[in-house]
């Protein structure tokens, strides 16, 4: 038996805490990446049953599935598209489109005119993320959308923070830029509709930035990079069973590259979860700045001298993983644990990394 377990109660607890903290701001649940790995449909169902009515996605299939399940829910396609087939389908589905540049506005406006309809859109502003959006200095271009695009109706405006998990200063700067654009438009008499900028980290850290709405993903899963003051519960873990248990003699090696060698006789157990399933999955080293390279080297050095012990839990006992984690297997030390084949093992796995495990809600 192997599964990725999602604790329904913890999820509902988080939803309620986030709703309370949001106050009047509308919460858009961001459900990209198959609902952050825990299943677009079951995750959205729990959200919807617990008062989250707005959804934001990045893929056509996600928009389609959500529309089938929630005929009336506001759905936002967060990336801009100028592809006629996608625009037509989004209009069929009644999904809000994102306008991130003038050309996209022209494309959507043209198709909406052909269909004799008005497309509801959110304007994207690029305050530093470097993808999708008008630059803050290009407010004139945004204004021309209002002036010349008779088949577009602006119902929202948003930006996306690039460092809300790491830099309050950068986030404040982005917020100021965004707020400046919104204020300028409003002062000139243009209705921006709902203004929204916060992702999960900014939402928790900066209540003053909540504006009219917020877009939350990882907060629902209680997985922020700092300890949050809302007491969110971490959602999701891997579960499997002890598949084989035996004593190995002193000198026996374990795993690829003989990564572990027993210094004395010990009792070990095989579990059927490995890195392919997201266990001990490490972020790729896509080193692109000196700062990141140095950070990476320091991390490796730290691990060399103070290796972080990889642990799993067998019947409430922490057990050390021996040697390298395999693709779909790992071996753990159960010398001091009273256990038998078939006993349950829980394994820390980030839902975003889960692969090859059935997601089970409990």
Q: What residues numbered 296-325 form the site for ligand PLP, per CB under 6 A?
A: none
Q: What residues numbered 18-77 form the site for ligand PLP, per CB under 6 A?
A: 30, 32
Q: Identify the helix (H) or strand (E) that includes residue 167.
A: none
Residue 174 or 218 with smaller CB distance to ligand PLP: 218
Q: Counting contacts by CB under 6 A, is residue 217 touching ligand PLP? A: yes
From the DSSP assignment, how many helices (H) and strands (E) are in the chain? 10, 18
Intra-chain end-to-end CA distance of the chain, in Å: 15
| Closest distance of CB 354 from ligand PLP, Å | 16
Q: Counting contacts by CB under 6 A, is residue 350 touching ligand PLP? A: no
- According to DSSP, the residues that pair with 237 across neighbouring strands are 5
Q: Which stretch binds ligand PLP (CB under 6 A): 38-46, 145-153, 195-203, 319-327?
A: 195-203
The first and second tokens of residue 161, run together, are: 């923070």
Q: Which stretch binds ligand PLP (CB under 6 A): 148-156, 215-223, 258-266, 288-296?
A: 215-223
Residue 99 or 219 with smaller CB distance to ligand PLP: 219
Q: Counting contacts by CB under 6 A, is residue 100 touching ligand PLP? A: no
Residue 90 or 216 with smaller CB distance to ligand PLP: 216
Q: Give dist(CA 274, CA 326) in Å, integer.
A: 5
80 neighbors 106 (Cβ within 8 angstroms): no
| Closest distance of CB 80 from ligand PLP, Å | 11
* CB count in 10 Å sphere of residue 19: 14
Q: Counting contacts by CB under 6 A, is residue 204 touching ligand PLP? A: no
Chain CA centroid to CA 185, Å: 31
Residue 229 or 309 with smaller CB distance to ligand PLP: 229
Distances (CA, A) of 237 to 329, 352, 353: 16, 11, 11
The first and second tokens of residue 5, run together, are: 């377990």
Q: Which stretch binds ligand PLP (CB under 6 A): 109-117, 167-175, 194-202, 342-350?
A: 194-202
Q: Which stretch binds ligand PLP (CB under 6 A): 39-47, 81-89, 212-220, 266-274?
A: 212-220
Q: Counting contacts by CB under 6 A, is residue 351 touching ligand PLP? A: no
Q: Counting contacts by CB under 6 A, is residue 160 touching ligand PLP? A: yes
| Closest distance of CB 106 from ligand PLP, Å | 23
277 neighbors 349 (Cβ within 8 angstroms): yes
Q: Which of 200, 241, 277, 350 binds ligand PLP (CB under 6 A)?
A: 200
The first and second tokens of residue 252, run together, are: 């026996």
Pure H helices in the chain: 8-22, 32-36, 40-49, 60-69, 84-93, 102-114, 139-148, 168-187, 200-205, 290-305
**Burial tier of 172 (Cβ tally within 10 Å: 0-12, 13-18, 19+):** middle
Residue 216 or 319 with smaller CB distance to ligand PLP: 216
Site residues, ligand PLP (CB under 6 A): 30, 32, 78, 160, 199-201, 215-219
């Amino acid at each position: 038996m192997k599964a990725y377990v999602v604790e329904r109660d913890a999820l509902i607890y988080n939803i309620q805490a986030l709703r309370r903290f949001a106050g009047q701001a509308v919460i858009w649940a961001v459900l990209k990446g198959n609902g952050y790995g825990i299943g677009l449909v079951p995750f959205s169902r729990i959200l919807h049953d617990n008062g989250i009515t707005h959804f934001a996605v990045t893929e056509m299939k996600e928009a389609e599935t959500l529309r089938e399940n929630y005929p009336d829910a506001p759905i936002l396609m967060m990336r801009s598209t100028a592809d006629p087939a996608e625009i037509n389908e989004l209009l069929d589905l009644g999904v809000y489109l994102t306008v991130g540049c003038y050309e996209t506005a022209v494309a959507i406006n043209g198709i909406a005119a052909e269909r004799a309809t008005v497309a509801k859109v959110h304007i994207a502003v690029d305050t530093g993320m470097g993808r999708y959006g008008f630059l803050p200095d290009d407010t004139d271009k945004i204004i021309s959308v209002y002036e010349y695009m008779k088949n577009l109706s602006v119902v929202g405006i948003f930006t996306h923070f690039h460092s809300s998990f790491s830099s309050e200063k950068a986030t404040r700067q982005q917020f100021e830029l965004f707020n400046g654009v919104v204020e300028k438009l409003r002062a000139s008499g243009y209705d921006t509709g709902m203004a929204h900028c916060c992702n999960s980290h900014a939402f928790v850290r900066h209540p003053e930035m909540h504006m009219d709405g917020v877009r939350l993903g990882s907060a629902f899963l209680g997985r922020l990079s700092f300890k949050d003051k809302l007491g969110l519960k971490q959602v999701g873990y891997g579960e499997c069973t002890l598949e084989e248990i035996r004593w190995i003699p002193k000198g026996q090696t374990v795993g690829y590259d003989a990564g572990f060698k027993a210094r004395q006789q010990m009792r070990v157990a095989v579990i059927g979860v490995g890195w392919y399933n997201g266990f001990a999955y490490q972020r790729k080293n896509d080193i692109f700045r000196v700062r990141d390279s140095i950070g990476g080297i320091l991390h490796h050095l730290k691990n060399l001298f103070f290796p972080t012990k990889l642990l799993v839990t067998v019947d409430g006992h922490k057990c050390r993983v021996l040697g390298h984690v395999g693709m779909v297997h790992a071996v753990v030390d159960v010398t001091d644990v009273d256990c038998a084949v078939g006993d349950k093992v829980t394994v820390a796995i980030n839902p975003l990394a889960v692969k090859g495990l059935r997601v089970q809600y409990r």
